[in-house]
Amino acid sequence: MKINPNIFRGYDLRGIVDKDLTLEIVEHLGKAYGTYLKNHNINKAILSRDCRFTSPEYSVAMIKGLNWVGIDTVDIGMNLVGTFYWAQYYLNIKGGVFVTASHNPAEYNGFKFAIDFSETLVAEGIQKLRQIAEQENFEPSEKLGKNKIIDIKQDYFNDILKRLPLTKKFKIVIDASCATAGVIAPEFLRRFDCEVIENNCEIDPSFPMGTPDPTENIVAKRLSQKVLETKADVGFSYDTDGDRIGIVDNLGRIIWNDVLLALFAIDVLDNHPNSKIMFNTLCSKVVSDTIKKYGGQPFMWRTGHSFLKKKNQEIKAAFIGELSGHFFFSEDFYNHDDGLYSTVRLLSYLEKTNQTLADIIDALPKYISSPEIKIGCADEIKVGLMVKIAEKLRTDFNQAEIIDDERTGDGVRMNLSDSMIVIRYSQNGPYLTIKFEASTQEKYDQLKDYINKLLHSYKEIDWSFGVNVESL
């Protein structure tokens, strides 16, 4: 069967519905993944999904393929992906598929393939899956696997309630961008006796409010307006599968997730002194500054939640965070990202410190930072472009630290004492991601102008696609 090779990405699979992914292709992928599991002595898999139009039928097709090769399946229905990972432990099942295209637009769907507790296929594993699918090197079974449908949502809620009990009644805005979290997060937070104001919480798989991405300015500004209007303590937004969050403080200020990462690091280091804290390449200098100030060991690694999880098997960080809003409380919870756990963890810290979120943020080091900017660049040329950009940065900033080794993995980071620039290609789609910051407005404006001219000098850049491009 012919399958578009570009759907096999760095740490998951994503493609356009009815073009890259059909029911026949999804069942085919189920057979391939089931064969991969059998080759690793795994004979059971959990299935869960987001709210996209095709997610229910893709889940059924994936189950059909898995059962065909003899894998037993447990369908836990529509959930956030953190619940899916949690279910691996609860049900003692290493295998699993979560049907989602995360923050990709509505015409996409895809899959995260589990291979161990809190661990999904990345890099070589994804390519091995591709090889099995392309060569149709399946291992059929004389006895079909069986599927079982169960509901574990309340068991998951109860576990988080026991881990992070709250006594303070918070007033919270939830903006789910008409995606999966809209019917899960409000119910979850009301179990903690929170007053929840729902904004765009009705599910609509066409995503009429735009792609559910908490890093986008339009989502953050919409959340900010609702927090100010309702005088809430904090506002939360989520992506489609709910592993990433965005926040707004009680003054309506947008708090980018690297700043939240620094706040979480303080909390973790209070419980686990001198621990390693891992963060991705796109993060602000406020992260490393804060980790050092509170006695931790900063460790920067390449962007991509699966890459970070994999690296943590080696370095054993107590906490991991990404600018995109993935947070892993590995020492206190599990080595995976969970947007709902992160939500309550922040509320727990606010209760413990008896401060407003604005007060806590104001005490952190200050940098003027851009949002996460995305600009189009075709998959087949984006890797080569990064080499050109790294060489250009070395020439133009010869006094700076230029990092383009395994720590960045898919891009380049330029560090100066008072500023930084990161440019990398996405593992999830045909675009580049840009982030920059400086300690003064003057330096920030200089970097902004430099990056704008730099990117416009390359014909490889596709300016017809962009997110937060107005920040350039």
Catalytic residue list:
102
Q: Are the C-beta atoms of 386 and 424 separated by less than 8 Å?
A: yes
**CB-count exposure of residue 144 (10 Å: 0-12, 13-18, 19+):** middle
Q: Cα separations (Å) of 291 from 261, 306, 379, 454?
A: 10, 22, 35, 32
